[in-house]
């Protein structure tokens, strides 16, 4: 189990860090994103999805709950569960199909899906600081651990 912390003065530095994480992501993985509204969870996800090679827009899944992307061999699912009224909605969405071996999942507000989501390999927590944001990555599996180790 290990943790790495990053001080991010601006949006650009967060997008860049997310791109670096994407560039070392060689396995299916589940990433939980924690932090208050406006902390930067969607900003990080956008940097990650673009870092994986997506050329188009990255929309916030605030209203759709999930936005899917197909990038090379990967299916990336970007969730925002803030508006999830009932965890059962996730069952109707066929949530189990989102955690296959070719899938990378980024999940904002994972607490709302408690009990129905796959366990996280990596939890990213973002806090406000006087200088911008402090981002902590916590590895929760061997896969998450190896991501943290190779991340430069
Ligand atoms: P969330 O998804 O957590 O609600 P967003 O990513 O939608 O948050 O919004 C984050 C906002 O904070 C953006 O408007 C972004 O420009 C701004 N911002 C300011 N400083 C930073 C920083 N250091 N890292 C990320 N976003 C920042
Ligand atoms: Mg968001």
Residue 123 has pLDDT above 90, yes or no: yes
Of 112, 63, 50, residue with least CA distance to 87: 112
Reported ipTM: the value is: 0.98
> Average pLDDT of the chain?
95
Number of domains in the chain: 1
Q: Report the percentage of the chain scoring pLDDT > 90.
A: 86
* 35 Cβ below 6 A of ligand 1: yes
* 127 Cβ below 6 A of ligand 1: no
120 pLDDT band, cuts 50/70/90, is very high
Mean local confidence (pLDDT), 148-152? 92
The values of phi and psi at residue 133, to 5°, are -135, 150
| CATH number of the domain that residue 97 is part of | 3.40.50.300
Query: Residue 131 is part of which domain span?
Result: 3-150
Q: Residues with Cβ within 5 Å of ion ligand 2? A: 41-42, 108
* 37 Cβ below 6 A of ligand 1: yes
Task: Give one DSSP letter per residue of the chain, joined into a string.
Answer: --EEEEEE-SHHHHHHHHHHHHHT--S-EEEEEE--TTSSHHHHHHHHHHHTT--S----TTTTSEEEEEETTEEEEEEE-TT---THHHHHTTGGGGGSTTEEEEEESGGGGTTTSPPPSEEEEEEEETTEEEEEEEE-SHHHHHHHHH--
- Which residues are bridge partners to 5 per DSSP? 136
pLDDT of res. 96: 83
- Which residues are bridge partners to 103 per DSSP? 75
Q: What is the whole-number distance in angstroms between the Cα of residue 37 and the centre of ligand 1?
A: 9
Residue 46 CA: nearest ligand 1 atom is 6
pLDDT tens figures, 131-141: 999 999 999 99
Residue 1 has pLDDT above 70, yes or no: no
Residue 9 CA: nearest ligand 1 atom is 23
Residue 19 has pLDDT above 90, yes or no: yes
* 34 Cβ below 6 A of ligand 1: no
């Amino acid at each position: 189990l290990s943790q790495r912390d990053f001080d991010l003065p601006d949006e650009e530095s967060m997008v860049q860090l997310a791109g670096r994480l994407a560039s070392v992501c060689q396995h299916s993985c589940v990433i939980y994103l924690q932090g208050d509204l406006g902390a930067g969870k969607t900003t990080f996800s956008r940097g990650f999805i673009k870092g994986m090679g997506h050329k188009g827009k990255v929309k916030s899944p605030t209203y759709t709950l999930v936005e899917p992307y197909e990038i090379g061999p990967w299916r990336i699912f970007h969730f925002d569960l803030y508006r999830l009224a009932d965890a059962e909605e996730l069952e109707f969405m066929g949530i189990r199909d989102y955690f296959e071996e070719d899938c990378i999942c980024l999940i904002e507000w994972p607490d709302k899906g408690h009990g129905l989501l796959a366990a996280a390999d990596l939890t990213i927590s973002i806090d406000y600081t006087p200088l911008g944001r402090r981002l902590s990555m916590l590895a929760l599996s061997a896969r998450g651990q190896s991501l943290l180790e190779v991340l430069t």
